[in-house]
Amino acid sequence: MCSASIGLSEQKLERQLVENIHHEPLNDLEKAKSIKRLIEIKGWSGRLVSSQLGISHIQLQRLLSLVNAPKEVKQLVEDKKIEPSTKRIMQKKCVF
């Protein structure tokens, strides 16, 4: 595959990831996974990603923390039983 095709497919993937992140039905864990993938593909800093997505750097960090959360916490977030901010408190107080 030539480098022009690679660049084009990266641009397409980037556009799709950004659209997915802003798509309402995605839960926070799905958004976090999409953002992480975007960072990996583009090599962007957290500040650049938050600027490009129109979200605060703090919001970005909270979302990205979900990627490394225990599976029990991820499931609670996916099921919309807790908010990401509650997840942080649970991680500090509970052992899973």
Instruction: Residue 90: name the closest of 60, 59, 65 by CA.
Output: 65
- Please indicate, yes or no, whether the overall pTM of this predicted structure exceeds 0.85: no
| 14: enclosing H helix or E strand | helix 3-22
| Cα 26–chain centre separation | 10
| 34: enclosing H helix or E strand | helix 28-42
Residue 54 is part of a domain; what is its CATH number? 1.10.10.2830
Number of domains composing the chain: 1
Specify whether the CB–CB gap between 62 and 85 falls below 8 A: yes
Instruction: Residue 27: name the closest of 66, 1, 70 by CA.
Output: 66
Which range marks the domain in which residue 17 is found?
A: 3-93
Give me the average pLDDT of each 10-residue run along the chain (96 residues): 53 77 76 87 89 88 88 83 61 49
